[in-house]
Amino acid sequence: MEKFNILTINPGSTSTKISYFYEDGREIKEELHHESEELQKMNQEDEIEYRLSLINNSLNKNLVDMNKTHAVVGRGGLLKPLKSGTYSVNEEMLIDLKSGVYGKHASNYGGILAQKISLLYNIPAYIVDPVVVDEMSDIAKISGIPEIPRKSIFHALNQKAVAKVHCEKINKKYNESSLIVAHMGGGISVGLHYNGEVIDVNNALDGDGPFSPERSGGVPIGDFFKGFYNEEYSKDFLLKRIKGQGGIVGYLGTNNVKKIVEDIKAGNIEAKKIIDAMCYQIAKEIGGLSTILSGNIDNIILTGGMAYSDYIISKIKEKISFICEVIVIPGENEMLSLYHGGCRVLSKEESVKSY
């Protein structure tokens, strides 16, 4: 793949990560931290300008010549369902990102900040594989309740990137492969990649699939309704039980998986039970997806931050290794994934998509 000078931007709730990739292979990266109390005092436009000023200060400090930059690539936010790919930032996208019509999240600022910088330096602005990438088959979207179809909201950026890197490594085309990719981070998504599309995946944001460090996963909905349908509980409270205060946090009071695994090694029986249950659910999700292709899976890939844990990997592997070879690619590699998305369209390997 041809290389270019590209700035990548990944906004989070209390930080903005930036990486500048040079065509000669060098990389400058920095995580710009923000005090949440300060951000809460700002309106949207003020926060965007604040983050932009920090980005520009960092680029100046690191002597980055933006006049030699080929593109800027931002993290994709909550948008309408999209096919996988690299999208140019246009006015319609900016309207949806700013309004939060499909959801409000710090990642929405990725495309907005990219567009601001693109105007300053007359370079193209892109986003790559936002979490709303939707390639699910029609049958996979049927939930059991007609008013509530299953949705594709997952770690598309990293899942797609590690799948393509793996296929390149074994000299096989991604669009001719059958893979199951499990991204294991604060949320967990397990996707079935078939001939270049993720034809089934759990909604890793809103209560579907395995529970994770911060999310409930799929819970018995009848018991949830009966247990919490009460004036005492607000909508915000209920949503936080699903996302933010569910999963491992709900059981153990912390989302620090590294520390919990250390506690397991020190003999903490309760911590072991909860982590083992999470691994059990991840393995069950992988096994379930393998049936869709009658077990004809080329490889299973385990990725995300929790893939650094030998304990977690071993627990999952012992249940799924009978299906096919299991590949471990730890970490999220988000900035590199954004960079590669930009390179693919600049080198004409892929066509840029329009929102």
286-344 pLDDT, tens digit per residue, is 999 999 999 999 999 999 999 999 999 999 999 999 999 999 999 988 899 999 999 99
CATH number at 6-134+334-354: 3.30.420.40
Tell me the CA end-to-end span of the chain in Å, nearest whole number.
Answer: 25
Considering only CA atoms, give the Rg of the chain: 21
Contact 106, 12 (CB under 8 A): yes
User: Which segments of the chain belong to CATH 3.30.420.40?
Assistant: 6-134+334-354, 156-330
Instruction: Report the DSSP beta bridge partners of residue 20.
Output: 7, 28
With the C-alpha atoms ordered 264, 278, 76, 43, is the resulting torsion angle positive or negative? negative
Q: What's the predicted TM-score (pTM) here?
A: 0.90
**Beta strand segments in 163-225, E:** 178-184, 188-194, 197-201
Phi, psi of 64, rounded to the nearest 5 degrees: -80, 125
CATH number at 156-330: 3.30.420.40
For 337-355, the pLDDT digits (tens) are: 999 999 999 999 999 999 9
Higher pLDDT, residue 1 or 257: 257
Phi, psi of 301, rounded to the nearest 5 degrees: -115, 125
